[in-house]
Amino acid sequence: MLRRHLIKDKEKRKRVAHIAAAVTILIHSYDNYETRHHSYKLFAVAGIIVLTLALFHSIIEKQLPWVDGAFFVIEAVLSLVVAFDLFNFGKKALPITYLLLGLFQFYLAFRKGKKGIKTHKINHQKAPKKLT
């Protein structure tokens, strides 16, 4: 509700969740870089990919309405990997937060993906058939 009042544009609101996930992954990459773990490169690449997908979200979603669910699945998997990584570092509370975030992202992926598939089917039924 607060997000709706702060960000009026619907497309920007959709993008905010993906950008926040990308920033979180990039922060974890930087943390791994500071502690000299070799996994920082993988997290940096994943964060840049998610950020790129978030920036081009509206363009991609026009062609593939179900892709929003796929974005959330990618982000959820990355959140679970970060949680596993933090469990290996011996942290206790922060990995649980990432686990909850991952579960919430899977829920959103299911919800948005289902809605996108429904929209995709409706758009293809409305499209006129080409005669060849």
**Is the distance from CB of 85 to CB of 28 less than 8 angstroms?**
yes
pLDDT at residue 3 tops 80: no
Higher pLDDT, 41 or 66: 41
Alpha helix ranges (H) inside 1-132: 2-6, 10-34, 40-55, 57-63, 67-88, 93-126
**Residue-level pLDDT at 30:** 93
Distance of CA 20 to the CA centre of its chain: 9
Length of the chain: 132
**Residue-level pLDDT at 80:** 92
Residue whose pair of structure tokens reads 């996994």 in the numeric block? 39
**Residue-level pLDDT at 32:** 86
**What DSSP state is assigned to residue 128?**
P
pLDDT at residue 91 tops 80: yes
Percent of the chain residues past pLDDT 70, beyond the cut: 81
**Residue-level pLDDT at 28:** 87
Out of 3-17, 48-62, 65-79, 80-94, pick the least confident: 3-17
Cα–Cα distance for residue pair 88/32, rounded to 1 Å: 12
Distance of CA 18 to the CA centre of its chain: 5
